[in-house]
Every structure is written in structure tokens, then in C-alpha cells.
């Protein structure tokens, strides 16, 4: 090898899969890893792709194996590990080289790192990568944030390895510095909401209808080919059907109900709030994961607190399906509102339609809905508000009744549906031309002389309380 086209540092789940994907598409790849004992076995185990891989045990050898201008892709935890690696590799690189962070990163850090590297004449790219191990190996969706020069240098490789939707590579240059990581963060926020909706519907079928996991899996299987067609619905069907080898029980029945989270859902909320947005479906999903860890409190409260008074018996499958679709649409609408607000705030000119397009394949939230979302954004959309697009309004008209029924049913039966409930609350708030915030304004003026706007006059006014 005279000079590898790209170097992949970090041979964990994602890095190893991306390195093989790049090699399979004809690119020579230098690979390295913190714990160096993994490098040789990785290269040796690459079969026919072995000749395209160069293992390097030191950073100096890793950099020396790269063709100029160099491209280095880090697939390691962001935060302090990435900062330490950048500090270590920077003296070995030259102006014009490109450093890519393909991990999930706080976009504020990405902006800071971009500034530092650009001061040294290098390019820094925040690359959102979605699709898990399978996607990384055979076609992820990728969200690129960085300079035009770095995109020119890297895009042939990314387009080659990306998932394809009808031949269209699911990768795009979304903007400078933190734009790619921001979009990936919001992608994950929507992912949190979608998974929470799935979990709530599973809970209703399990606790309300008393169905065993495989029967619920069969419901998700049926949904996977209709308007809810998506990776996460297919995944839910498979997870619910799986049996535990040790006990023979359904796998989900032996998994503790305490959900982990690495931070992207929370970042979505923090950034949304900073932008004056509130994505209450994502908030509900992040909150529900946090509450799920309070096992001891929940076990005690289960014996102390009164529950619902109405029967939790099953609702028709079609009603549950409608509720899912309506809530999924609303979670996407909220996610895209955050993107729209960020685009204005950071002057990114995000192409919302293109974002929906590159999410149609490869990523975790890929679904049939995203094609409709992309079309909606390609049309004339007032205020970038997805719920106002004709095609989306039609879908909501056909599904919101189901959401209403499910939320009312769950409330009566005492079944928790924080994300479905949040979706309905937001929908009803957004379609109310005159809400009740006039009283909030009255109260604020009453106790704090904060003033209010009148319906019949301009300017700031106070009440004669
Ligand atoms: N798993 C997924 O589905 C997805 C993950 N991501 C992101 O990709 C990145 C990698 O994740 P993933 O491959 O799953 O993680 P893994 O845990 O499988 O691998 C982590 C890699 O990072 C290396 N590493 C850990 N700490 C350090 C450090 N302090 N300095 C240098 N290298 C270090 C590890 O090296 P060593 O072998 O020496 O421990 C290993 O190569 C993360 O940012 C993650 O958020 C993005 C999309 C999807
Ligand atoms: O980015 C991803 C998928 O798109 C990762 O799988 C991410 O780690 C999932 O987030 P969390 O661990 O917080 O559930």
C-alpha cells in the first residue's frame, strides 16, 4: 500500500465495521486502536479484505500510512477521550488534513474542536453516523458537518459506503462545524421518542390485554408492512419473539425494566430548550428512561398509590396502530422544528427535506413516514411546520382519533403513556387558535408587573389589579 485513503482509529463495534465497509468499497484503510492487541487479529480476520487494511500500533505509524492530504476517522467515545486523541495526533498532521469525529458528540464540543483545528490549518468534521453495527458494515446514514474542502476530500468515500435509498446515497453535507452532529443528536431524540411509543404500546398490550410477548411481537410484525413500516417496528417484533436460551421464557420477560441512555436524548432537549423549543415527546421519552431506573421507589409505590378505575382490557389493534402513527408524526414534527430553529440560530441553512431523505435508509429511525416527510419539506410548508403539510395533515386526520382513544383509555385504566400523552397534548395545543396563556400573562402582571399585550391595542400594558 503506498498510502491509505483513510485511517480509522477505534476498532470497536462501529469503527471495525466502518473500516471493513470502506475496504469492501475499494479504499485502502489504515487502522489503529488504543488497546493494540486487537489490531493484528482484526486485520487477519478480514478475509479477502485483508490486503486493503494496514494495521498500525503507534500513532506515528498510523499517520505515516496515510496518503496526503490525510483523512483520519475517529470512532471512539466523544468527550475527554476524543480531546486527548486530537491533542496526541495534531503534531503529526499537516495543514489541509481532515480529522473526522464519527462518534455521537455534543455539537458544542464539535464547534469548539472545529475552531481549534481550523486555526491550525486543518479541517474538522463532525460526522453523525447511524445504523448501529449492521449499518456501519453494510450502509449507514451519515450526517456531515464541516468545510466544503473537507466534503470534497471525503464525500466519494462516504457516498460509496452509505446506505442507498433507490440508489440515492444516504449522506449529505448539512452545514459547517457542528451541523452534522446536531442533526444526528436530533435523530437520536426522535429515536428515543419512537422507542418510547413502542414500549408504551407494548405495555398496554401486556398489562391491559394480558398478551404474551410473542403475541405482541406478531402485532408489530403486522404493523411492519403498513404505514408504520420501519426498522424499529421490525426490531420490536424480533425482540418480542425471541426466547431466552437459559429459561425458555420470552427474552423481554427476563430483561430488567431499567433503560440506559448515553446522552443524545438529553442533549436534544437541552438544545431544544436553548432554542426556545420544547419537544415534549422526546422529553417524555428521556424522562421515562430516567424513571425506569427508580425501581425501588416504583416497587414501593405500586403497593401504596391508587391506580386507574376503568378496565384495562385490550383496545382494537387498529386503534393502537393509529395512535402509533399519530404520535410518530408528532415526534418527527417536533424534531424537525428543533432543526429548523437551530438552522436559523446558527445560520446553517439546513435542508430539512434532504435530512429526511438521508434518514430513509441506513439509520435507526428509517421508516416509510420519512419519504412523506421529505416530500412535505420539498413542498411549500408554512413555518417549516410539518403538521401543516397537506399529506401530513391527511395522515393525522386518519390517526389522531386513535391516539385520543388510547390516551383516554390508558388514563382511565392507570396505564402510563407519557409519550403518547405528550404527543396528544402538543397536537391539541397547536390546533388551538386561542389558548389559555392570556391567564398566565395576567398572573405574571398581577404579581410581578411583567406587562402583557392586548388583543385590541399595540404596546405593553398593565392591569388595574
Ligand atoms: N454502537 C452504536 O450503535 C453507535 C455508536 N456510535 C458512536 O460511535 C462511537 C464508538 O462507539 P462503539 O463502536 O459502539 O463503541 P465500542 O465500545 O464498541 O468501541 C469503543 C472504541 O473506542 C476506543 N476507546 C475507548 N476509550 C478510548 C480512549 N480513552 N482513547 C482512545 N480510544 C478509546 C476503544 O478502544 P479499546 O479497544 O482500547 O477499548 C474502542 O476502539 C461512540 O462515540 C458512539 O457514541 C454512533 C452510532 C451508533
Ligand atoms: O446513535 C445511536 C443510534 O443512532 C446509538 O445506538 C446510541 O448509542 C443510542 O443511544 P442510547 O445509548 O442513549 O440509547
Average pLDDT over residues 37-63: 98
H or E element, residue 271: helix 264-274
**Is the pLDDT confidence value at 61 over 90?**
yes
**Is the pLDDT confidence value at 136 over 60?**
yes
What CATH homologous superfamily does 6-177 map to?
NAD(P)-binding Rossmann-like Domain (3.40.50.720)
Measured from the Cβ of residue 241, the count of other Cβ atoms closer than 10 Å reads: 18
User: Percentage of the chain with pLDDT > 70?
Assistant: 100
Average pLDDT over residues 77-86: 96
Per-residue pLDDT, 381 = 85
Q: Is 15 in the pocket of ligand 1 (CB under 6 A)?
A: yes
| Three-state secondary structure call for residue 326 | helix
User: Which letter does DSSP use for residue 51 in this model?
Assistant: G
Ligand closest to the CA atom of residue 80: 1
Per-residue pLDDT, 223 = 98
Which are the catalytic amino acids?
A: 184, 191
Q: How many angstroms separate the alpha carbon of residue 44 from the centre of ligand 1? A: 21
Lowest-confidence region among 202-206, 309-313, 345-349: 309-313
- Give the residue among 46, 68, 49, 56 at the shortest CA–CA distance from 2: 68
Measured from the Cβ of residue 26, the count of other Cβ atoms closer than 10 Å reads: 10
Q: Which atom of ligand 2 is nearest to the CA of 192?
A: 14
**Is the pLDDT confidence value at 350 over 70?**
yes
Q: How many angstroms separate the alpha carbon of residue 78 from the centre of ligand 2? A: 13
Q: Which atom of ligand 1 is nearest to the CA of 129?
A: 47
Tell me the three cell numbers of residue 349.
Answer: 441553512
**Is the pLDDT confidence value at 275 over 70?**
yes
Per-residue pLDDT, 91 = 97
Q: How many angstroms separate the alpha carbon of residue 191 from the centre of ligand 2? A: 8
Per-residue pLDDT, 209 = 86
- Give the residue among 169, 113, 122 at the shortest CA–CA distance from 142: 169
Per-residue pLDDT, 39 = 98
Instruction: Name the residue of 77, 130, 191, 263 to mutate for ligand 2: max ligand atoms within 8 A of Cβ.
Output: 191
- Ranges in the chain annotated CATH 1.20.5.320: 436-465
Per-residue pLDDT, 254 = 98
Q: Cis peptide leading into 243, omega within 30 of 0?
A: no
Q: How many angstroms separate the alpha carbon of residue 364 from the centre of ligand 2? A: 9
Give the confidence band of 313 by pLDDT, cuts at 50, 70, 90.
confident
Per-residue pLDDT, 314 = 76
8 Å CB contact between 335 and 356? no
Q: What is the CATH number of domain 185-430?
A: 1.10.1040.10
Instruction: Name the residue of 8, 12, 232 to mutate for ligand 1: max ligand atoms within 8 A of Cβ.
Output: 12
User: Does residue 450 come out as left (phi exceeding 0), alpha (psi in the -120 to 50 range) or beta?
Assistant: alpha
- Ranges in the chain annotated CATH 1.10.1040.10: 185-430
| Per-residue pLDDT tens digits for 357-385 | 999 999 999 999 999 999 999 998 877 79
Tell me the three cell numbers of residue 20.
Answer: 471493513
Q: Is 77 in the pocket of ligand 1 (CB under 6 A)?
A: yes
Average pLDDT over residues 421-447: 97
User: What is d(CA 88, CA 115) in angstroms, rounded to the nearest whole number?
Assistant: 17
Per-residue pLDDT, 359 = 98
User: What is d(CA 421, CA 129) in angstroms, rounded to the nearest whole number?
Assistant: 30
**Is the pLDDT confidence value at 1 over 60?**
no
Tell me the three cell numbers of residue 293.
Answer: 431506573
C-beta contacts of 376-383 below 8 A and 24+ residues apart: 377/336, 377/352, 377/353, 378/353
User: Does residue 177 come out as left (phi exceeding 0), alpha (psi in the -120 to 50 range) or beta?
Assistant: left
8 Å CB contact between 154 and 125? yes
**Is the pLDDT confidence value at 162 over 60?**
yes
User: What is d(CA 462, CA 168) in angstroms, rounded to the nearest whole number?
Assistant: 57
Q: Which atom of ligand 2 is nearest to the CA of 187?
A: 4
Give the number of residues written for the chain. 465
User: Does residue 10 come out as left (phi exceeding 0), alpha (psi in the -120 to 50 range) or beta?
Assistant: left
Beta-bridged to residue 445, according to DSSP, are none
Q: How many angstroms separate the alpha carbon of residue 17 from the centre of ligand 1? A: 12
- Give the residue among 108, 112, 148, 141 at the shortest CA–CA distance from 127: 141
| Per-residue pLDDT tens digits for 140-155 | 999 999 999 999 999 9
| Per-residue pLDDT tens digits for 183-231 | 999 999 999 999 999 999 999 999 988 999 999 999 999 999 999 999 9
**Is the pLDDT confidence value at 406 over 60?**
yes
Spelled out in words, what is the top-level CATH class assigned to the domain 436-465?
Answer: mainly alpha
**Is the pLDDT confidence value at 309 over 90?**
no
User: What is d(CA 329, CA 399) in angstroms, rounded to the nearest whole number?
Assistant: 10
Beta-bridged to residue 172, according to DSSP, are 143
Per-residue pLDDT, 2 = 63
Ligand closest to the CA atom of residue 365: 2
Average pLDDT over residues 64-70: 97
Q: Which atom of ligand 2 is nearest to the CA of 263?
A: 13
Give the confidence band of 312 by pLDDT, cuts at 50, 70, 90.
confident
Average pLDDT over residues 98-114: 98
8 Å CB contact between 320 and 402? yes
User: What is d(CA 456, CA 465) in angstroms, rounded to the nearest whole number?
Assistant: 19
Q: Is 185 in the pocket of ligand 2 (CB under 6 A)?
A: no
Per-residue pLDDT, 89 = 98
**Is the pLDDT confidence value at 23 over 90?**
yes
* Residue bearing the CA closest to ligand 1, atom 9: 103
Average predicted confidence (pLDDT) for the chain:
96
Provide CB contacts within 8 A for 456, sequence distance 6+. none
User: Percentage of the chain with pLDDT > 90?
Assistant: 96
Neighbour order of strands in the sheet with 53-55: 53-55, 29-32, 6-9, 71-74, 98-101, 123-130, 141-145, 171-175
Q: How many angstroms separate the alpha carbon of residue 414 from the centre of ligand 1? A: 40
User: What is d(CA 77, CA 108) in angstroms, rounded to the nearest whole number?
Assistant: 15
Q: Is 277 in the pocket of ligand 2 (CB under 6 A)?
A: no
User: What is d(CA 89, CA 210) in angstroms, rounded to the nearest whole number?
Assistant: 57
Residues making up the annotated binding site for substrate are 104, 130-132, 187-188, 192, 262, 289, 444, 450
- Ranges in the chain annotated CATH 3.40.50.720: 6-177
User: What is d(CA 401, CA 403) in angstroms, rounded to the nearest whole number?
Assistant: 5
Average pLDDT over residues 311-339: 94
User: What is d(CA 365, CA 282) in angstroms, rounded to the nearest whole number?
Assistant: 14
**Is the pLDDT confidence value at 451 over 60?**
yes
Buried b (16+ CB within 10 A) or exposed e, 307-321: eeeeebeebeeebbb
User: What is d(CA 291, CA 352) in angstroms, rounded to the nearest whole number?
Assistant: 33
Q: Give the DSSP letter string of 185-225.
A: HHHHHHHHHHHHHHHHHHHIIIIIS---HHHHHHHHHHHTT
Amino acid at each position: 500500500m503506498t498510502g491509505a485513503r483513510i485511517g480509522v482509529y477505534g476498532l470497536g463495534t462501529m469503527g471495525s465495521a466502518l473500516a471493513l465497509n470502506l475496504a469492501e468499497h475499494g479504499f485502502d484503510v489504515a487502522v489503529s486502536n488504543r488497546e493494540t492487541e486487537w489490531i493484528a487479529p482484526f486485520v487477519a480476520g478480514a478475509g479477502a479484505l485483508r490486503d486493503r487494511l494496514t494495521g498500525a500500533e503507534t500513532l506515528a505509524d498510523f499517520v505515516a500510512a496515510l496518503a496526503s492530504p490525510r483523512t483520519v476517522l475517529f470512532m471512539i467515545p466523544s468527550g475527554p477521550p476524543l480531546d486527548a486523541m486530537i491533542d496526541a495526533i495534531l503534531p503529526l498532521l499537516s495543514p489541509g488534513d481532515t480529522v473526522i469525529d464519527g462518534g455521537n458528540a455534543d455539537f458544542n464540543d464539535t464547534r469548539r474542536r472545529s475552531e481549534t483545528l481550523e486555526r491550525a490549518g486543518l479541517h474538522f468534521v463532525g460526522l453523525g453516523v447511524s445504523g448501529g453495527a449492521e449499518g456501519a458494515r453494510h450502509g449507514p446514514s451519515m450526517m456531515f458537518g464541516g468545510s466544503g474542502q473537507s466534503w470534497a476530500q471525503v464525500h466519494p468515500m462516504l457516498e460509496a459506503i452509505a446506505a442507498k435509498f433507490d440508489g440515492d446515497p444516504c449522506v449529505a453535507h448539512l452545514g459547517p462545524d457542528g451541523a452534522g452532529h446536531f442533526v444526528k443528536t436530533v435523530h437520536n431524540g426522535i429515536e428515543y421518542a419512537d422507542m418510547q411509543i413502542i414500549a408504551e404500546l407494548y405495555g398496554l398490550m401486556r398489562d391491559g390485554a394480558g398478551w404474551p410477548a410473542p403475541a405482541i411481537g406478531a402485532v408489530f410484525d403486522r404493523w411492519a408492512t403498513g404505514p408504520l413500516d420501519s426498522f424499529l417496528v421490525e426490531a420490536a417484533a424480533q425482540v418480542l419473539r425471541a426466547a431466552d436460551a437459559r429459561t425458555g421464557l420470552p427474552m423481554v420477560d427476563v430483561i430488567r425494566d431499567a433503560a440506559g441512555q448515553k446522552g443524545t436524548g438529553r442533549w436534544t432537549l437541552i438544545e431544544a430548550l436553548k432554542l426556545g423549543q420544547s419537544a415534549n415527546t422526546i422529553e417524555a421519552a428521556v424522562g421515562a428512561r430516567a424513571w425506569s431506573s427508580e425501581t425501588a421507589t416504583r416497587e414501593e409505590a405500586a403497593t401504596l398509590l391508587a391506580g386507574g378505575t376503568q378496565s384495562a382490557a385490550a383496545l382494537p389493534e387498529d386503534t393502537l396502530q393509529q395512535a402509533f402513527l399519530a404520535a410518530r408524526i408528532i415526534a418527527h414534527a417536533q424534531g424537525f422544528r428543533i432543526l429548523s430553529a437551530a438552522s436559523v440560530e446558527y445560520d446553517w441553512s439546513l435542508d430539512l427535506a434532504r435530512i429526511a431523505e438521508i434518514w430513509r435508509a441506513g439509520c435507526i429511525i428509517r421508516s416509510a413516514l420519512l419519504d412523506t416527510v421529505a416530500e412535505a419539506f420539498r413542498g411549500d410548508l408554512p413555518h417549516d411546520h410539518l403538521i401543516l403539510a397537506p399529506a401530513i395533515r391527511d395522515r393525522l386526520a386518519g390517526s389522531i382519533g386513535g391516539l385520543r382513544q388510547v390516551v383516554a383509555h390508558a388514563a382511565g385504566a392507570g396505564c402510563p403513556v407519557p409519550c403518547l400523552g405528550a404527543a396528544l397534548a402538543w397536537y391539541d395545543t397547536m390546533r388551538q387558535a386561542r389558548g389559555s396563556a392570556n391567564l398566565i400573562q395576567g398572573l405574571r402582571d398581577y404579581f410581578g408587573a411583567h406587562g402583557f399585550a392586548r388583543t385590541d391595542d399595540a404596546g405593553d400594558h398593565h392591569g388595574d389589579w
